[in-house]
Amino acid sequence: MSPVNPIKGTSRSDLLAGLSEGLWPLHLKPLPDELLSSWLIRLAHAHQLKTETLCSMLFGSRSTIWNRDIDRLAPVRVLTGLSHATGTPLLQVEQTTLPALAGLLSGSIPANGHAAWIVPLSLLHRRRRRPGLMYCPACLSEEQGPYYRRLWRLAWATVCVKHCCLLQDTCPACGAAVSPHRNDMIGREFIPTSTTRITCPICQHPLTKQTLISAKRELVDFQILLENALGQGFIDWGGNPSLHSVLFFDGLRALLSGGLRAMRRSDPTLSGRAPIFERRPLDERREGMLLLGHWLDLWPQRFLAEVEQNGFRYSELTKWRSPFPYWCDQVLHPLNQQQAKTADLEAETIMHVVLRKKGKYSLPAARQLAGKDLSKIWLRLHPRRKLPHETLETAVVAVDHQIAGTLDSAERLKLLRTKFMLVGRYGLQLRPSALASLTLAGIYRLGLTIPIVSFYEVPRTREQAAAWLVWYWHRVRPLTKPVRTEKRLFTGLDTGSGLSASSCSLWTQLPTFCRRDYA
């Protein structure tokens, strides 16, 4: 005798026969922004069936629904079959798929290959080799029933704006990729429960049992902006009150891709070829979106300041897409006309020519010869005054005595920062403004051969001073808790932002008994 199914008291065999004939007994409709795969799983579990069993009945025993990214492929026969079986309008069924975002998120979303902003599942024999589906633990715990959103497949969606927490994409217990359809494959006597689709198929740990991690407010606000643009199909941006969302997202993708590439080029600590943005780990994508949001805040003034500070090139910023969206191009195109920055070696060569002709170094003569203003770079390379090593050593030792004389952790950290700021200003011979804007990449751009750091003596050379500052970046700077978008070396302990030039000047004032050597 066939087991009795709880649905209307029918036997399981009668139910199976009826499902293939017309409207299903429980014709659930898609929930807001629900993924096609999530809807299929809910439908199967509502009928006390395995997901694959229900798909075989609807689409045939040889169907390969779960061998591919069904949310992205979305065959017409699958969509029409679901529409017929659940009494759901075909348009509403199509809205559960990723291709339905074409014309809103990007111009097109192909069934295979790379698609802008879509995180790939990387399937192999129905297994997901890397995370491709995100989730919010709080959303999966809501009373209306757990389900997975289309938004959780988008690379720029890294937080939940409803609960202001970070999205996750792996099991908190074993680190496996989220694969809700594989929970049905644990055995023959499968009976789904309300928690089946939110349980890890590898270790059976509930995805909802984890501590929520609060998201940064600026990241939440930026994602709200993106979600509104996607939902409306337009945005008031860059002087255009109705900029099409595709043009907006295309510009963002180009800025992000080019900006990250430029940052890797300008920072020697980032080696190797980075994967495309959609294939990067969730933490890296989150950092990228935080950086992009920072660039777009006060657009375009803040971004242009970043371009100037980091030396971004027009060619690398615009390489990802051609033609470039106008709202970006009108800001970036003038950069194509700018004169290339003068390299340190070029400045030295020009001044040596001036020396041979004039018998002395002359900045006005260098400008007349090369048509370039070398004052900033020359004064950075050749400060007019150099502090004697003994004086710098005395100043650093005085700070060491202050550190040893206090047990207050915050005060000790502040004094430790002062010690390295002294080395930065007088060891590298930097003015306060240059010290305030100094970054790790800026240290490497000095072209110095950085030795293994040694603390047996206060730095005697610029190379030794650079080694101290590189060590400071890795070992001390994280203790000051800088904001994630801050690249400057020295930051405030209260704000996490870079110190101003006046602050750097104040914190690096020499003790009274040393000042006569730096008059």
Q: DSSP secondary structure string, 220-282?
A: HHHHHHHHHHHHHSEEEETTEEEEEHHHHHHHHHHHHHHHHHHHHHH-TTS-SPPPPGGGS-H
Residues 6 or more apart from 102 whose CB is under 8 A from it?
108, 109
- Mean pLDDT to the nearest integer, 320-346: 72
Q: List, in sequence order, every residue forming a beta bridge with 235; answer none if it has no partner.
A: 243
Are residue 297 and residue 192 in the same domain, yes or no?
no
CA distance 422 to 214: 37
- DSSP H helical ranges for 297-408: 301-310, 314-317, 326-332, 344-358, 363-370, 375-381, 389-404
Q: Is residue 6 part of a domain?
A: no
What's the pLDDT band for 113 if we cut at 50, 70, 90? confident
In a domain, 207, yes or no: no
d(CA 275, CA 49) in angstroms, rounded, equals 39
Which one is predicted more confidently, 103 or 446?
103
Average pLDDT, the chain: 83
Residue of 139, 141, 131, 140 whose CA lies nearest to 171: 131
d(CA 437, CA 426): 15
Q: Is residue 360 domain-shared with residue 479, that is, in the same domain?
A: no
Residue type, 304: L
Last residue of a domain, one of 134, 168, 198: 198
With contact defined as beta carbons under 8 Å apart, do 437 and 488 qualify? yes
Report which secondary-structure segment, H or E, holds 283.
helix 282-296
What confidence score (pLDDT) does residue 117 get?
Answer: 95
Of the candidates 138, 23, 126, the residue with the CA atom closest to the CA atom of residue 69: 126
> Does the pLDDT of residue 335 top 80, yes or no?
no
pTM of this structure: 0.65
Range in 7-11, 151-155, 268-272 the model is least confident about: 7-11
Give me the pLDDT at residue 8, please: 44
368-387: average pLDDT? 70
pLDDT of residue 368: 80
Per-residue pLDDT at 24:
81
- What residue numbers bound the domain in which 407 lies? 389-518
Tokens of 429: 């011979």
Mean pLDDT of 85-111: 93
Lowest mean pLDDT among 148-157, 259-268, 273-282: 259-268
Higher pLDDT, 187 or 223: 223
Higher pLDDT, 56 or 246: 246
Helix (H, G, I), strand (E, B) or coil at 160: strand
What is the model's pLDDT at position 29? Answer: 93
Q: How confident is residue 517, by pLDDT bands cut at 50, 70 and 90?
A: very low
Bridge partner residues of 123 (DSSP): 128
Structure confidence at residue 349 (pLDDT): 78
Query: Region 474-501: what's the mean pLDDT?
Result: 92
In this structure, is residue 63 part of a structural domain? yes
Q: Which residue has the tokens 């080395």?
A: 423
* CA–CA distance, 314 with 337 (Å, rounded to integer): 9
96 domain-assigned? yes
Helix, strand or coil, per DSSP, at residue 332: helix
Q: Are residues 194 and 97 in the same domain?
A: yes
Q: CA separation (Å) from 276 to 112, 181, 316?
A: 16, 27, 15
Looking at the structure, tell me whether residues 33 and 181 fall in a common domain.
Answer: yes
Is there a single domain that holds both residue 26 and residue 169?
Answer: yes
Residues 234 and 152 in one domain: no
Domains in the chain, number: 4
269 pLDDT above the threshold of 60: no
Residue 423 pLDDT level (bands cut at 50, 70, 90): very high
Q: What mean pLDDT do residues 53-61 have?
A: 76
Which one-letter DSSP state was computed for residue 372? S
Backbone region of residue 492 per phi and psi (left: phi > 0; alpha: psi in -120 to 50; beta: other values): beta
Percent of the chain at pLDDT above 90? Answer: 40
- In terms of domains, do 488 and 394 share one? yes
Range from 9-18, 179-188, 267-276, 338-347 that averages highest in pLDDT: 179-188
Contact, 214 vs 198, CB < 8 A? Answer: no
At 285-311, the pLDDT tens digits run 999 999 999 999 989 988 888 887 777
Q: Which helix (H) or strand (E) holds 411?
A: helix 409-422
Q: Which DSSP symbol is given to 180? A: G
Domain membership of residue 184 (yes or no) is yes
b/e sequence 29-57, b meaning 16+ C-beta within 10 Å:
ebbebbbbbbbbbbbbbbbbbbbbbbbbb
Q: How confident is the model at residue 417 (pLDDT cuts 50, 70, 90)?
A: very high
**Residues 87 and 23 sit within 8 Å (Cβ to Cβ):** yes
**pLDDT score of 453 more than 80:** yes
Does 188 have pLDDT greater than 70? no
Question: pLDDT at position 140, please?
Answer: 94
Lowest pLDDT segment from 11-20, 337-346, 376-385 = 11-20
Q: Do 369 and 327 fall into the same domain? A: no
Q: Is residue 3 part of a domain?
A: no
More confident of the two residues 1 and 134: 134
**Residue with the two structure tokens 């950075």:** 380
139: in domain: yes
pLDDT of 17 > 60? The answer is: no
Whether residues 63 and 182 fall in one domain: yes
Q: Is the pLDDT of residue 360 over 90?
A: no
- Average the pLDDT over 354-374 and give the result: 78
In a domain, 190, yes or no: yes
Mark whether 21 and 148 lie in a shared domain: yes
Q: Extract the tokens encoding 452.
A: 């293994």
pLDDT for the residue numbered 18: 47
Q: Which H helix or E strand runs over 166?
A: strand 165-166
Are residues 187 and 237 both part of a single domain?
A: no
| pLDDT winner (highest mean) among 48-57, 353-362, 451-460 | 451-460
Tell me which residue has tokens 């340190």. 344
Q: Is the pLDDT assigned to residue 514 strictly greater than 60? A: no
Residues 32 and 179 in one domain: yes
* Domain C-terminal end among 198, 229, 250: 198
